[in-house]
């Protein structure tokens, strides 16, 4: 009998953890919720609800791969558990995998034929897949595709006399221009599309000539420093705050923005034009890495595409997609610090030379990055890895005995996570990482995801 009592007490304890996890989830403490659901699962791994709930918490942290694994486990335990299909379908959608999502919503409809919500989501999903098939059918094969950049001559675009915004005189982007442009953006004024074209095209030219892995020298002198920022996600007013706290980018005050500049936040265009303009002003004042949101499939879903279409034009949607393919994949600071958006690779034994030889000029594959920190550092004679990509309550997290730092620079992410933002200042000569955290600042009343795919809003 004691064994049965033991099982009972384990089940009761697991339920307690689930209740605590649900409370944490309601309070938007998703990482804590995941830990508590994990404890429940460790005590009772045959409960599909725990797995599906943890899947939902993973989705909230944008850990879609983990969400799909957990939801699949829930389905394996109980093939008739509707929430398992719902959670997995939502995670597939979030990754832009519409066809996989469709299968899950079809199954959901079979299990809950009279549920109006399931019917609505299935209809939307069918629409998205039809649209995707249509786009695939009419798209020009990659090999035959002409670069849109080659067909644009910004010099032929007239600027109307009544335009009172920032202007670029000739070919040179000056600090005065960038300051005036940022000030206009702050007051919700737009930049003339002639100058927007000029900035994006000049940035493209610069990025095209860079290797996939960029080495950055940091002078040894005292007082020299280098700042690394994580995801900004279209939070323009928080970007201005970073510059307020840490100074504007310049050769003496260089920055690296480690991917995910756009999407979700509804001022993504302002963010990307500001970062690109600084790059044009002084290539060594700012370095830019590609994140998973610098891709067509993500921009289609999470708002950047809709925002660019609304604020500029369809041609710019194509142009940004092209330029994002030119962004380098990673950076090495002073030969010692490896900075990459997502983290390390799922395969072992990767050398920096492997990364250098990647042909990056394409849309990113869906599989990739993570783990094996110590060995990677030893193999490549490095001291530290810096990554971004994940929301952290304090804006950063230090793991693997101090060898891995995650930095995230979008505070109160999506106006609801309540997290701090952070950036890292590396101080010469020893490149000691100094982490600065900051809180969100107010922004005009335009909600995150304002330009996003309607379909996704149904799930948020």
What is the token pair recorded at 209?
């000539």
- The rounded Cα 356 to chain-centroid distance in angstroms is 22
Whether 457 contacts 302, CB under 8 Å: no
The number of residues in the chain equals 460
Whether 185 contacts 274, CB under 8 Å: yes
Taking alpha carbons only, the member of 199, 124, 203 closest to residue 154 is: 199
3-state secondary structure of 113: coil
Catalytic residue chosen out of the listed positions 233, 293, 389, 443: 293
Q: For residue 293, indicate whether it is catalytic.
A: yes
Q: How far apart are CA 222 and CA 219, in angstroms?
A: 9
Q: How far apart are CA 73 and CA 458, in angstroms?
A: 24
Q: Compute the C-alpha angle 214/218/224, nearest 5°.
A: 145
Task: List, edge to edge, every strand of the sheet that includes 384-387.
Answer: 213-216, 330-333, 337-340, 384-387, 404-407, 396-399
Q: How far apart are CA 368 and CA 371, in angstroms?
A: 11
CA distances from 120 to 106, 113, 124, 192 (A): 11, 11, 6, 40
Whether 292 contacts 389, CB under 8 Å: yes
Taking alpha carbons only, the member of 387, 398, 372, 260 closest to residue 324 is: 260
Whether 399 contacts 407, CB under 8 Å: no
Q: How far apart are CA 136 and CA 35, in angstroms?
A: 41
Whether 86 contacts 125, CB under 8 Å: no
What residues are labeled active site? 293
């Amino acid at each position: 009998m004691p064994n049965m009592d033991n099982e009972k007490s384990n089940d009761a304890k697991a339920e307690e953890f689930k209740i605590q996890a649900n409370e944490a989830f309601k309070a938007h403490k998703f990482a804590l919720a995941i830990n508590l659901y994990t404890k429940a699962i460790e005590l009772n791994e045959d409960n599909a609800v725990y797995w599906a709930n943890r899947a939902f918490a993973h989705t909230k942290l944008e850990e879609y791969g983990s969400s799909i694994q957990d939801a699949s486990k829930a389905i394996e335990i109980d093939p008739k558990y509707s929430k398992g299909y719902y959670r997995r379908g939502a995670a597939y959608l979030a990754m832009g995998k519409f066809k996989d999502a469709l299968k899950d919503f079809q199954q959901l409809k079979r299990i809950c034929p009279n549920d109006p919500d399931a019917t609505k989501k299935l209809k939307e999903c069918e629409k998205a897949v039809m649209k995707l098939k249509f786009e695939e059918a009419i798209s020009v094969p990659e090999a035959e595709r002409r670069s849109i950049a080659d067909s644009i001559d910004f010099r032929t675009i007239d600027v109307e006399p009544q335009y009172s915004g920032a202007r670029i005189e000739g070919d040179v982007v000056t600090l005065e221009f960038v300051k005036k442009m940022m000030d206009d953006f702050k007051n919700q004024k737009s930049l003339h599309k002639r100058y927007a074209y000029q900035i994006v095209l000049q940035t493209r030219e610069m990025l095209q000539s860079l290797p996939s892995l960029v080495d950055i020298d940091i002078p040894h002198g005292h007082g020299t420093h280098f700042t690394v920022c994580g995801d900004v996600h279209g939070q323009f007013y928080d970007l201005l705050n970073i510059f307020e706290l840490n100074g504007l980018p310049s050769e003496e005050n260089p920055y690296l923005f480690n991917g995910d500049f756009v999407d979700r936040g509804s001022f993504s265009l302002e963010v990307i034009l500001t970062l690109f303009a600084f790059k044009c002003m002084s290539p060594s004042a700012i370095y830019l890495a590609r994140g998973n949101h610098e891709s067509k499939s993500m921009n289609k879903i999470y708002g950047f595409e809709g925002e660019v279409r609304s604020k500029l034009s369809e041609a710019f949607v194509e142009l940004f997609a092209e330029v994002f393919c030119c962004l380098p994949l990673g950076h090495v600071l002073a030969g010692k610090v490896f900075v990459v958006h997502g983290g390390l690779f799922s395969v072992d034994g990767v050398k920096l030379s492997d990364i250098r030889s990647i042909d990056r000029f394409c849309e990113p594959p869906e599989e990739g990055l993570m783990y094996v920190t110590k060995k990677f550092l030893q193999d490549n004679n490095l001291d530290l890895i810096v990554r971004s990509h994940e929301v952290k309550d304090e804006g950063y997290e230090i793991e693997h005995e101090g060898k891995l730092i995650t930095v995230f620079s979008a505070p109160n992410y999506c106006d609801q996570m309540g997290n701090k933002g952070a950036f890292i200042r590396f101080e010469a000569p020893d490149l000691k990482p100094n982490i600065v955290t900051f809180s969100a600042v107010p922004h005009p009343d335009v909600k995150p995801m304002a330009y996003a795919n309607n379909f996704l809003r149904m799930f948020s």
